[in-house]
Structure 1
Amino acid sequence: MSRSHQNAWLSVSSVAVGSFGTVLSEFLPIGLLPSISSDLGVRIATAGLMVVVTGLAAAVAAPVVTVATSGLDRRVVLIGLSAVLVVSDVIAATAGAFAVLLAARVLLGVALGGFWAIGAGIAVRLVDASRTIRATSLITAGISIATVVSLPLGAVVAATSTWRLAFVIGAGIGLVALVLQLLTLPAMPAEQRVRPAALTALFGVPRARIGLLVAALLFAAQFAAYTYISPFLHDVAKVDPDVVSVALLVFGVSGVVGNSAAGVTLHRSVSGTLVAGGIALAAAVALLPLVAHLPVAVFVLLVVWGIVWGGLPLGLQTWMVQATPAGSEAGLAMFVTTIQVALAIGSSLGGVAVAAVGIAVDFQLAAVIALLGTGALVWLGVRTAGSARRGAAAADH
């Protein structure tokens, strides 16, 4: 292994740590809302705003940061976003008022949206073309791991310490990412300016439209169910409280495996990976309530679900990069905006379903949404391919 090859993978790893830190900071406080509510003297519903504002800020920041910084060296931008992550978590950890905490969470949203839009597509600048998907899978592994680790880690923090420790942990990881990036990231001069028109122009690209629609539906499906995975295990599956953390850990490890597996399958077929993943996601969440009385079956389906969700975000990002090869950052910016909005909508729909008809029906709803996303990919993909063939035939004549 050459020194330059080693440096390339160290650079990729530094971005992966950054992606892990931003997403962990986003989700870690979810299990701590009662403590935050009590300590800062606000209603728990009000405390929940700290999760909402982060997602909304990320949805806005992704395209704004992409356009505003498109003329800057990407090394400088990524390091700056990691610094914003550290600052936001430090402010949150020391906040004496809820308004200050909300401001910190808005800052986190800026780091989150910018990092997803720029960091997720940076692998092509760091490694050879033949290793781009593998490098991207490492970066998105940070996202997948943070998503699934946040719940059990939050439970540990809530049981053993103050909620402020969650933000100290986030700041610590952000600081590690910042140092690694300072030491390992090479200069990456801006290749082209991203104009605001490039963002809306994506909707004129059939493949990009398909990617955004499918991403919206699959992320909404995922978070309609995933948001309530702990209550499902507690209240529906009647899993022992001590075993719930183990179940969530199993889900997380499965996600890492799925992310690695997707790095292989995507080389063969991006659309095939997404279709198979969408169907498996729908099947897993639909079957869970039906086998809730069978602990072994529940764990098996959690493994399937974790594997699938470990790979789907990487597959969707790969689709968007391929759909907009001349401006992948614009594509990823709109991708981040889309999934953050879909995440909020999915969680909200899930909450309404759980309150009105129960967790089991919520999981069935999530399965239907996942199937809609998969069906849209198949139907629109076939239509687009047919149009392309007809256009080629017309050109030949």
Structure 2
Amino acid sequence: MTAGPEPGKAHGARPVPASRRGGWAAVVPVALGSFVLVLSELLPVGALTAIGRDLSVSTGSTGLLVVAPGLAAAVAAPVLTVASGRLDRRWVLWALAGLTALADLLCAVAPNLPVMLAGRVLLGVALGGFWAVGAAVAPRLVAPGSAHRATALVMGGISVGTVASLPLAALAGGSTGWRTAFWAAGAMALVALAAQLRLLPPLPAGPVPAGRALAAALTGRAARTGLAATALVFLGHFAAYTYVAPYLERHAEYGSDAVAWTLLAYGIAGVGGTFLAGHTLGRSVPATVAGAAGALAASTALLPLCAGSPVAVTALTLLWGAAFGAVPLSLQTTLTRAVPTAPESGAAVFVTTVQLSLASGSLLGGLVADRRGVLACLVVGAVLSGLSVAVTAYAAGRRGGRATRGQQEQQTGV
């Protein structure tokens, strides 16, 4: 789960003549594809307890269902960025939509954890491929003046998928069974594939990105700092977030319906956080990053202390959702500014960092949950998110210091 390249900067892509653009009718199935991918990625979070009970595995082991796609996506993003360089982007999107459907349907019928993990690995490949390759397609489908709106529609699939995934899984887990949620996701992936087959125009690719371009995204100090902040906040978030449903059930003592509605509110708050970040980033990127990570750290740190108060738990969950809604866009903007000459390479490295951190955070949370309990996961998440604030503040301080010294040198003529 991450944002795509900056609109209008699909590096190396050949322009599509106006007569062959698919228009808004072609943007919609691409947006549906992004929605289904994020929905599928997060489904296990909302039904973690039910899945573990049905497959007879511990909560920590069930958390591997979040770890597996993250690791697969981390590998797939840079590999597919290079390997699919000469392929028509239609074919890439078709393959990724088909792979998403296969992954969800495999999870829906999985008799045990290993089979389900196999489905989640397939989903991870689709995730890495889409965010590294497919997310840049939208601006090519419409007139240049509409590129930002087309990209916003595709990126909107992230927010809507986040909003829908947890309550869908929680409601299904409490009524028809968690497998229903995966059947529904698989069906939606097939709908997205059918629409893409029908509506996408030819989208010829540009030259294959060189491996050294990917490495170049890691050389600058600003890029490394941004990636460090990204790793820490995603580690912390997913160490805690993967186990939010068990926390609400066991410690806040919410029923299944209350869990579903709380997670729905969390997702809606996340959409609000995304739009808020879009406004505040124009004023200060470091402050937006630090503010989002700080609010995330504060909410996860306070939740263990407020488990007995439904009002406080709900309010802190909403703050958490809004804070994390601002995180991907803020950090993506940080990295885009750090490597402006190689946006696709920067995006691939960002996706890899996010997915590795997502997987590692979920794995760390699982180990902590099995040994110290779910409340300890929240504490770990708070500490790691707090470290992200420290990294961001330190980097901003260094930049401010260099700017001040530069001004002084200009004034003194040194």
What TM bracket, shorter-length normalisation?
0.7 to 0.9
What's 1:237 paired with?
252
Residues 327-366 of structure 1: pairs in structure 2 closer than 5 A: 327-366=342-381
Residues 192-271 of structure 1: pairs in structure 2 closer than 5 A: 192-271=207-286
Deviation at 1:251, TM superposition (A): 0.7
Contact 1:140–1:314 (Cα < 8 Å) also in 2: no
Secondary structure at 1:247 match in 2:
helix
User: 1:174-216 deviations in whole A, cap 9, x for unaligned?
Assistant: 1232234345545443334211222222111223212221111
Separation in 1, partners of 2:67, 2:386:
26
Separation in 1, partners of 2:22, 2:280:
26
Separation in 1, partners of 2:410, 2:93:
45
1:282 to 1:102, Cα distance in 2 relative to 1, 3 A:
closer
Residue 65 of structure 1, aligned match among 64, 80, 89? 80
Contact 2:285–2:330 (Cα < 8 Å) also in 1: yes
What's 2:6 paired with?
none
Contact 2:59–2:369 (Cα < 8 Å) also in 1: no
Residues 140-219 of structure 1: pairs in structure 2 closer than 5 A: 140-161=155-176, 163-219=178-234
- Farther off after superposition, 24-33 or 305-314: 24-33
Contact 1:19–1:119 (Cα < 8 Å) also in 2: no
Residue 82 of structure 1, aligned match among 75, 97, 106? 97
- Farther off after superposition, 109-118 or 284-293: 284-293
What's 1:288 paired with?
303
Separation in 2, partners of 1:234, 1:39:
17
Of Structure 1 and Structure 2, the greater helix share is in 1
Deviation at 1:271, TM superposition (A): 2.8
Contact 2:69–2:121 (Cα < 8 Å) also in 1: yes
Amino acid at match of 2:168: L
Separation in 2, partners of 1:63, 1:164:
32
Separation in 2, partners of 1:361, 1:164:
29
Amino acid at match of 1:206: R
Separation in 2, partners of 1:9, 1:201:
35
Separation in 2, partners of 1:35, 1:239:
15
Amino acid at match of 1:332: A
Secondary structure at 1:237 match in 2:
coil
- Ranges in structure 2 where 5+ consecutive residues have no aligned partner: 1-17
What's 1:300 paired with?
315
Deviation at 1:292, TM superposition (A): 2.7
Amino acid at match of 2:300: V
Deviation at 1:101, TM superposition (A): 4.4
Contact 2:22–2:142 (Cα < 8 Å) also in 1: no
User: 1:48-94 deviations in whole A, cap 9, x for unaligned?
Assistant: 65543322211111111111112233333223211221233344445
Secondary structure at 2:217 match in 1:
helix
Question: Is residue 17 from structure 1 mapped to residue 38 from structure 2 by the alignment?
Answer: no
Coordinate RMSD, CA, aligned: 3.5
What's 2:288 paired with?
273
1:148 to 1:345, Cα distance in 2 relative to 1, 3 A:
farther
Separation in 2, partners of 1:13, 1:269:
32
- Choose between structure 1 and 2 for higher RCO, CA contacts under 8 A separated by at least 6 residues: 2
Separation in 2, partners of 1:268, 1:127:
29
Deviation at 1:381, TM superposition (A): 3.5
Contact 2:281–2:330 (Cα < 8 Å) also in 1: yes
- Farther off after superposition, 244-253 or 284-293: 284-293
1:135 to 1:234, Cα distance in 2 relative to 1, 3 A:
same
Separation in 1, partners of 2:109, 2:248:
34
Deviation at 1:139, TM superposition (A): 3.2
